[in-house]
Structure 1
Amino acid sequence: MSNQIMRAALCATLTCAALGAAAPALAELGGAPTPAPAGAVSSSVNAAVVHAASGVASATSAASYTVTQTTFATGTIVREYVSAAGTVFGIAWNGPIMPNLPALLGSYFSQYDSARVAQRTANPGRGPLNVELPGLVVRSGGHMGAFSGQAWLPQSLPAGVSAADIQ
């Protein structure tokens, strides 16, 4: 086998491994949560809405949403925010590898991608993305080895929950 063929085979293997490392995200925005993929560590916690004025959690909102945090083998952490009705209303991520945004954003990805392309066309270069559409907000930034971002559906935020809660 020639060196060129061996290099091509190695490159293909590494590409497949890299794509496999960026395993699908937990759930899609606006949909139901799904189990964590194999090799990921996941935990959930019920979150209460804390009233900003008093700093006290409301007894009536003791389980207004659930946060599920999954740590992938790559070190990337994805947190999904799930309403009491079982719908993912927000997602946040941070880590060395960008998560699979088409999987995270689901049916909202095409709206995000169009806005992203328009934003980059108007302002070429690098830098954080802040996409604010009527039914979708996505903030994403970072650099190789340190990515972070949030995405949420403003119309789906539970009562008393703000965008600042999605971290």
Structure 2
Amino acid sequence: MKKIQLKNSVDILVDDEFYQLTASYKWNICKSRGKQYARTTIYHPKKQDIYLHHLILGGLKSGHTAYFIDGNSLNCQENNIIQVPFHTKSHIKKCTFLNKTSMYRGVFLKFGMFISAITYMSKTNYLGVFKTEKEAAITYDLKAIELYKEFAKTNIMINPYFLS
């Protein structure tokens, strides 16, 4: 692992095999949606912005976006960046439980019953009403695994895609 240091004393982490390729460019920090990304501009044949994580991934597949496993968008090591479908990225981000009525992802309390729901491709799917929080969480887990496969974040169950 090598560091590329920018003039504002920000370090970008890259793998050794990508260092020669990346060190020849002048990198800047670009802020977007609360994150910082390393970006450079080339002028051949016309002006084009290139993000470092796109360069490391060899470009993005259509309908996909980059996801930084450790959450640090300036850690551009190959093992820290994966391509995920657009509709999956919102599912795998960290879930905060502030002001929530349940300790489980996809479960909330309403009128004394626990409701399980999951969002997929911008549509909310209500999975049912349950007496216990745990039943609702298990139902959510099953649907998350069905929809998101290896990217499913589960509450109680172990994702079978991680077992292989």
Whether the TM-score (by the shorter chain) exceeds 0.5 is no
- Taking structure 1 as the reference length, the TM-score comes to 0.28
The one of the two structures with greater contact order (alpha-carbon pairs below 8 A, sep at least 6) is 1
Structure index of larger Rg: 2
TM-score, scaled relative to structure 2: 0.29
